[in-house]
């Protein structure tokens, strides 16, 4: 196995598949390819990749169905790479468990940078299909690691273990969801613009003067919507994520009565 691990490319266009293979080989992955959706699912099942590059327009089953099947058994990072630019496709992919969405034509350096950013900030360590285990609540005299835990209205986020718990019950989050929630909780009620949150999700490649598109900002909105759904947060009366119209998001105000806060 290479230094970065294994990647599987699921792409029916031979030229694009060869280009992606060259990009990932140069980045340091062991690369396997598939030209169809069913073949791709079996390749992921067999090779246990760290990263999957997935096209939407496949000849047998489309990429959305492939993604659904992959998420039944694989925690691999999935980057959807497609020529489709319609917003509903991006929303469907992100709701379905994709970690990123890039439209063709793409820039090889951008693809490599996004994958590198994902792998530097790993997702929660969980057994697929089961919630992450909650850590025991420390006693008054047991405080090691407490500096890694952020708490707000019954929600606890441990940055070191990348785990989240609400009222003592684990909440399973994707890498992007965890990073956005961590950034907002760390901000302590300060407003974070959509542009700033895009940079949180995208990593170092989006620093400085990198152009941020409406699609990038819309992806942040989708991730926030997923977070609200998982937390059971009401956008009309938010307990955790408050929308600041025309700007971005911030942490909702602290409430006096809170459920248990064990993590």
* Cα angle 159, 98, 217; round to 5: 75
* Range with the poorest average pLDDT among 51-55, 169-173, 202-206: 202-206
**Local confidence band at 143 (pLDDT 50, 70, 90 cut-offs):** very low
**Local confidence band at 206 (pLDDT 50, 70, 90 cut-offs):** low
Region 141-158: mean pLDDT is 74
Q: Which residue spans of the chain are classified as CATH 3.40.50.2300?
A: 6-120
Task: Report how far Cα 92 is from the mean position of its chain's Cα atoms.
Answer: 14
pLDDT, residue 92, reads: 86
pLDDT, residue 175, reads: 82
pLDDT, residue 120, reads: 75
Q: Which residue spans of the chain are classified as CATH 1.10.10.10?
A: 146-251
pLDDT, residue 204, reads: 56
pTM comes to 0.64
Say whether pLDDT at 256 is over 80: no
pLDDT, residue 205, reads: 54
pLDDT, residue 114, reads: 83
Is the separation of the CB atoms in 2 and 29 below 8 Å? yes
Q: What is the CATH number of domain 146-251?
A: 1.10.10.10
DSSP string covering the chain: --SS-EEEEE-S-HHHHHHHHHHHHHHT-EEEEESSHHHHHHHHHHH--SEEEE-S--SSS-HHHHHHHHTTT---EEEEEES---HHHHHHHHHTT-SEEEESS--HHHHHHHHHHHHHSPPP---TTSPPPPPPPP-TT--TTGGGEEEETTEEEETTTTEEEETTEEE---HHHHHHHHHHHHHTT--EEHHHHHHHHHGGGG-TT----HHHHHHHHHHHHHHHHHHT--TTS-SSEEEETTTEEEEPPP-SS------
Say whether pLDDT at 7 is over 80: yes
* pLDDT tens digits, 84-123: 777 788 888 888 888 888 888 888 988 888 888 788 766 6
pLDDT, residue 81, reads: 87
User: What is the share, in percent, of the chain residues with pLDDT greater than 70?
Assistant: 82
Say whether pLDDT at 82 is over 50: yes
What class has domain 6-120?
A: alpha beta
Say whether pLDDT at 127 is over 90: no
Pairing of strands 241-244, 248-251: antiparallel
pLDDT, residue 137, reads: 42
pLDDT, residue 128, reads: 46
């Amino acid at each position: 196995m290479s230094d970065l691990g294994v990647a599987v490319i699921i792409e029916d266009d031979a030229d694009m598949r060869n280009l992606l293979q060259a990009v990932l080989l140069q980045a340091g992955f062991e690369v396997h390819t598939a030209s169809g959706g069913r073949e791709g699912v079996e390749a992921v099942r067999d090779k246990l990749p760290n990263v999957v590059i997935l096209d939407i327009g496949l000849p047998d089953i489309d990429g959305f169905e492939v993604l659904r099947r992959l998420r039944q058994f694989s925690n691999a990072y999935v980057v959807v790479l497609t020529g489709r630019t319609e917003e509903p496709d991006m929303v469907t992919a992100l709701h379905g468990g994709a970690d990123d969405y890039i439209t063709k034509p793409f820039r090889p350096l951008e693809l490599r940078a996004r994958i590198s950013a994902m792998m530097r900030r790993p997702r929660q360590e969980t057994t697929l299909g089961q919630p992450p285990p909650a850590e025991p609540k420390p006693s008054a005299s047991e405080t090691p690691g407490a500096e890694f835990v952020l708490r707000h209205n019954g929600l606890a986020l441990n940055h070191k273990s990348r785990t989240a718990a609400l009222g003592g019950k684990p909440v399973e989050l994707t890498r992007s969801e965890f990073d956005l929630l961590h950034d907002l909780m760390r901000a302590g009620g300060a407003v974070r613009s959509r542009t700033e949150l895009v940079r949180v999700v995208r990593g170092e490649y989006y620093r400085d003067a990198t152009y941020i598109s409406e699609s990038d900002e819309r992806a942040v909105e989708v991730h926030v919507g997923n977070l609200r759904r998982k937390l059971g947060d009401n956008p009309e009366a938010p307990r955790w994520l408050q929308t600041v119209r025309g700007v971005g998001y911030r942490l909702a105000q602290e409430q006096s009565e809170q459920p248990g806060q064990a993590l």
